[in-house]
Amino acid sequence: MSRWLACGLVAAGAAAWPPAVPAQEAASPTVTLSLEAVPVAYAAAQVAAQAHVPVLVAEHVTGTVSLRLEQADVEGAVRQVAEAVEGSWLRAYEVRPEGTDLPDYNAADLLGRLQEAWRDWLLRRSDDELAAWREGAGDGGAPPGAAAAGGQTDAGTLRVDMVAALRGPFQAELASLELHDAPVPEALDAFTLATGCMVLTEGDLDGTVDLTLTDQPPDAALDALCRPLRAQWTRLYVIGQPQELTPDEVEQRFAQMLERGAARFWQMPPEERQALIQRVVARLDNLPADVRARISGSPWAPRLMQHVMRYVAQLNLDQRREVAPLLQAFGRLVGQ
């Protein structure tokens, strides 16, 4: 199964949620831990409480953590907790108006929002932007998290790590931005392009951003970006672990993803739907040859295509005509 399709299978989750402190107001907190065989959720909660940032753990993650840290940086602590259970982790950001509270995410909500945000962000990028982004990451053009997203096992199950699948192909230590009267979506898109980290938004964010930064830490860059918007931001961390899904579980999750995506699609104005179809068709038709070969050769592709066909059969004639180019592009991709 394609790792692009794997990105659509979202794990359930539970939160380790401390009192939130706007990240730009924190003085680089450190983490000191002495843990012996404690549940991973407890370890994450300890990191979250000391760092004043959310550290969420997907519900399926198991194992215990034995760890000793002395004034470790927050990200290093999250990484070591994840590694203690042979898991994965990612960093994202949330931006909201000043004086507003951080939403009460759980891991499932956050992973679902990140899935949608990455998909929409990738569709908004030009081919040249994506090529430069992936070249800078040195990953050979892989999608977010592709190196660790998973694959089919000998037992016929699918090994999927949703946190790895939703992590960008790199996380820059330094970022450069050049923005001229950029509206909020454009400014945040540029931040993701420079840092490899997705930014989620809450509330009404108005205004434009005009700034030039060279080789600044991502947090400092986001400080400068949020200042003219009268906005605040918070880091978000998620810890995951590979899962083995049966064919029935894969199909069930794909069907759920298809229903959610279709519901959003039909709520869009007709002209936006048409523009989206054109972008998706162009992107699918221009996937690298090796990616196309992996998808068409996957035993999962025909089964998932059947779900698509069953959904399309439920549409009225006008709807079927509208999505026909998209269906044809998927058919070309999976060899049907």
Residues 307 and 177 in one domain: no
| Final residue before a domain boundary, out of 227, 245, 263 | 245
Q: Which amino acid is at 316?
A: N
Per-residue pLDDT for the chain (336 aa), expressed as one digit of tens each?
333 334 333 333 333 444 444 444 445 789 999 999 999 999 999 999 999 999 999 988 999 999 999 999 999 999 999 999 999 999 999 999 999 998 888 898 899 899 889 988 988 888 888 877 877 665 434 444 443 445 555 556 788 898 998 988 888 899 999 999 999 999 999 999 999 999 999 999 999 999 999 999 999 999 999 999 999 999 999 999 998 888 888 888 888 888 888 898 999 999 999 999 998 898 888 888 888 888 888 777 888 888 889 999 999 999 999 999 999 998 888 875
Q: Which of 224, 245, 266 is the last residue of a domain?
A: 245
Same domain, 43 and 131: yes
Q: Are residues 82 and 157 in the same domain?
A: yes
Q: Select from 81, 60, 83 the least CA-distant residue to 9.
A: 60
**Contacts of residue 332, Cβ cutoff 8 Å, sequence gap at least 6:** 284, 285
- Judge if 197 and 269 occupy the same domain: no
Q: What is the DSSP string of 172-196?
A: -SSEEEEEEEEEHHHHHHHHHHHHS
- Do strands 243-245 and 158-160 pair parallel, antiparallel, or not at all (unpaired)? antiparallel
Show which of 245, 280, 301 is a domain's final residue. 245
Distances (CA, A) of 191 to 121, 143, 265, 271: 11, 17, 26, 28
Give residue 47's pLDDT: 96
The pLDDT of residue 39: 96
* Cβ neighbours of residue 23 closer than 8 Å, sequence gap 6 or more: 53, 219, 232, 233, 234, 235
Whole-number Å distance between alpha carbons of 316 and 259: 16
Token pair in block for residue 229: 């918007």
pLDDT at 8 (0 to 100): 37
Under DSSP, is residue 281 helix (H, G, I), strand (E, B) or coil? helix
Q: What pLDDT was estimated at residue 301? A: 81
Shared domain for 55 and 142, answered yes or no, is: yes
239 and 265 assigned to the same domain: no
Residues 3 and 119 in one domain: yes
For residues 85 and 14, membership in a common domain is answered with yes
Residues 188, 259 within the same domain: no
For tokens 């030039």, what's the residue? 212
**Residue 252 shares a structural domain with residue 229:** no
Which domain covers residue 329, as residue numbers? 247-336
How many domains are contained in the chain? 2
203 φ/ψ sector (left φ>0, alpha ψ -120 to 50, else beta)? left
pLDDT at 27: 53
Q: Are residues 114 and 199 in the same domain?
A: yes
| Cβ proximity of 6 and 16 under 8 Å | no
pLDDT reported for residue 212? 95
- Asked if 106 and 55 sit in the same domain, the reply is yes
d(CA 69, CA 89): 18
Q: Quick one: pLDDT at residue 283?
A: 85
